[in-house]
A and B are shown apart, each in its own frame.
Chain A
């Protein structure tokens, strides 16, 4: 009995979303994350930071990871822990993200002369979240794991 209760409580704290690889669906992840974060007591500015970070992570997974293939899924896991929220976003790509892309620090004055004025997503995620880690998921695919702490 007790075990069942514990298991039920634990599973309640993990929310899984499986999103189609179509731009716009990152909104679903943003709204779910902000609902949870508000409930956990995060300040408004931290919730906004989280929404931006999760939007960028899911958008990257849709565009670059799954190449807009709508039959491929982006899996978002939201794990509520004491004092922190852990978010993982996984695509189904068999191509890993090049390390130089992960480490890139974009400069606006360079963007003025470049055709591609984007490339801010990963940098923004790193700036806004407390912990950020990129790896290959056990099931394959690129996985980004982000943590935001309640105290900050």
Chain B
């Protein structure tokens, strides 16, 4: 009943593979997030943006999933960024250390400017 569904979808914008995450990021999210990441990676993504929508529930199981993504991103020499996190989860991501491995931007537009994949 309360196994909240997470909506995950992927799209491309300015050379960045964007994974939109709408809903709760908990243990139930694992398959969907990993699948979306595998998909954009198999399509050759170099820059990956995990775009949150001010999600109000990301727990330690969700954080573990994201650490798994960072592990893969490092292995594939990709660049990862986060956007759309609430102030609270920006703080949590800094505490955990995720912010050392992926830049945190306020929103999608700021992230695309910061990642600048099209600049040569």
Interface residues of A (CB under 8 A from B): 22-28, 30, 45, 48-49, 51-52, 55-56, 59, 107-109, 111-112, 116-121, 124, 127
Contacts and interface: CB of A to CB of B under 8 A. Distances in A.
B26 A121 contact: no
Interface of B: 1-4, 26-28, 56-57, 59-61, 63-65, 67-68, 70-71, 74, 86-88, 91-92, 95-98, 100-101
B4 A27 contact: yes
Most chain A CB within 10 A, of B26, B27, B59, B74, is at B59
Nearest to A59: B59
A108 B1 contact: no
Contacts of A120: 60, 63-64, 96
Given A45-B88, A49-B88, A52-B92, A112 B71 contact: yes
What are the 4 closest A-B residue pairs judged by CB atoms, nearest first?
A24-B2, A108-B97, A48-B88, A118-B64
A111 B96 CA distance: 11
A48 B67 contact: no
A105 to B, nearest CB: 11
Contacts of B56: 51
Contacts of B2: 22, 24-25, 27-28
A124 B92 contact: yes
A41 to B, nearest CB: 18
Most chain B CB within 10 A, of A48, A51, A127, is at A48
B74 A112 contact: yes
Most chain B CB within 10 A, of A26, A30, A108, is at A108
